[in-house]
Amino acid sequence: IAEALMLRSTQNPSIEIDVSTTSEPLQVAITAGGIAMNAIDKRNNDKDDTSEKFTMEESQVVSGRVVGVVMRMRELEELLVG
């Protein structure tokens, strides 16, 4: 989620991380899924032995939650700011 927020803050139009009139929801979901999988892969490949690798089920749950939050990011932002 932090990575998605950082990408969103750059306001780079080539990175579709926010549902808008120019970005299709499916493309945003695909981008968010890619961000989540990169973070999971990084954690699983980390040389630190203090944490266990995610199982496939855990990876799917984490990815789904990241996608869900990113898809609702504008709505959540309005709730927090408003």
pLDDT in tens, 65-82: 999 999 998 888 888 897
Residue 67 is predicted with a pLDDT of 93
Q: For residue 49, what pLDDT is reported?
A: 65
DSSP string computed for 27-74 = HHHHHHHHHHHHHHHHHHH-S-TTSPPPPHHHHHHHHHHHHHHHHTHH
Q: pLDDT tens for residues 7-64?
A: 888 888 788 888 877 788 999 999 999 999 999 998 888 866 667 888 999 999 999 9
Under 8 Å between Cβ of 32 and 66: yes
Sorted by sequence, the CB contacts under 8 Å of residue 16 that are 6+ apart come out as 23, 24, 27, 28, 31
